[in-house]
Amino acid sequence: MKAQALFFTLLVSATLFAQEHSHKSSGALTYPDVPGYVTLKTDFHQHTVFSDGNVWPTIRIMEALRDNLDAVSLTEHLEYQPHSADIPHPDRNRAYEIALQEAKDHDLMVIAGSEITRKAPMGHSNAIFISDANKLLVDKAEDAFAAAKKQGAFVFWNHPAWHPQNPTGNPNLSDFQKNRIKNGELHGMEVINDADYTEESLAMALENNLTIMGTSDIHGLVDWRFKENGHARPITLVFAKEKTPASLKEALFAGRTVAVFNELLVGKEENLKPLIKSCIEIGKASYISNTSIVRLELKNNSSSDLLLQNKMPYNFYSNPPLFTLPAQGSITLQIKTLEQKEQIILSLEAVGAYIAPKQHPTIEWEINVEN
């Protein structure tokens, strides 16, 4: 009996250790790969006590592992250090070094980054894939961006519509940003920051061919800020050739991204349509006996609810034209084709997705129908 009790104790301990070591939670984020690319889940705007955040860098890594992210960056403010009296650190690379050590035994890429923090019109921008944050801590904002470029950084404009700097709640593309774009020193723009999605920022990003970004900009705990309110953290999906830092960087510069916040998906059409098509798995299609009604099952292989609108010439039977395909769930459509056909075109507008302000993509599938 003692041997059995000891075995049971060891088994339970091993199970608990495995669960703790994996860090994954029941709310782990999942999105499918798209043709030709690996889909990487990223959050490149986060803070710790090494600037104005409230947690140690190791917590950010544990949260990322729980959320099943593939890459993160801790982008501490270079110029704003409210905790410096308690945590003095002349080396602006320190948060990255601690996070990198925490992630070393896990399949998580930690990308070196910092936030260049200035008043309007310069605003706030994140430089990631840097080699030394200290060299970005200079007097002139122009020199900080030039130093980031010298290090080969990917730089994106943070919360460009942030109301403390833009009282109208709309972004203002000043001469400073125009010159940074012209000089190859500004490459992306947040269209989703925290819980805020800004259509004007999306329009500006598209007009200037900037990479579309979504980030949490988390300062406290991810669970408290998002999950207790029924949300997942905002992220950027990056479509890379492989899961490596070099491939991730190439994809960001190429603009292969979609910003995601729960059921909201925002991206360029060439990126968003393949993602949604990969998220939706088409099941068997067959006619209900002696009718011209096709029964078709759709399965959602992503962590986002998909709000879809029927765009076919055929109406639904016992289904509303506007419906939700739940995250990791399925739904059965019944389609009235009026006469039996061997093939139909399933055409659905993704109402929760945006390829431009107020513009949604329409996705189509050729469906072979069993009679």
pLDDT band at 26 (very low <50, low <70, confident <90, very high): low
Is the separation of the CB atoms in 361 and 269 below 8 Å?
yes
Give the tens place of pLDDT for each residue, 75-93: 999 999 999 999 999 999 9
| 298: β partners | 282, 331
Closest of 279, 284, 323, 283 to residue 301, by C-alpha: 279
Q: 18 or 223: whose pLDDT is higher?
A: 223
Of the listed ranges 26-35, 70-79, 107-116, 293-302, the one predicted with least confidence: 26-35
Residue 25's pLDDT band, with cuts at 50, 70 and 90, is: low
Residue 5 has pLDDT above 50, yes or no: no
Percentage, residues of the chain above pLDDT 70: 93
pLDDT at 113 over 50: yes
pLDDT at residue 2, rounded to an integer:
44
Provide mean pLDDT across the span 120-140.
97
Model confidence pLDDT, tens digit, residues 306-364 = 999 999 999 999 999 999 999 999 999 999 999 999 999 999 999 999 999 999 999 99
pLDDT at 11 over 70: no
pLDDT digits (tens, 9 = 90+) for 48-73: 999 999 999 999 999 999 999 999 99
pLDDT at 27: 74
Confidence of residue 12 (pLDDT cuts 50, 70, 90): very low
Contact of 206 with 185, CB cutoff 8 Å:
no
User: Is pLDDT of 287 > 50?
Assistant: yes
Mean pLDDT, residues 32-46 taken together? 98
Domains and CATH numbers, the chain: 26-262 (3.20.20.140), 275-368 (2.60.40.1230)
Share of the chain above pLDDT 90, in %: 90
Average pLDDT in the 134-150 region? 98
Query: With bands split at pLDDT 50, 70 and 90, how would you rate the model's confidence at 161?
Result: very high
Tens digits of per-residue pLDDT, 235-265?
999 999 999 999 999 999 999 999 999 999 9
Q: Is the pLDDT of residue 267 over 80?
A: yes
Q: Do the beta carbons of residue 39 and residue 312 sit within 8 Å?
A: no
Q: How high does pLDDT run on average in the chain?
A: 93
Entry pTM: 0.93
Residue found under tokens 């430089």: 127
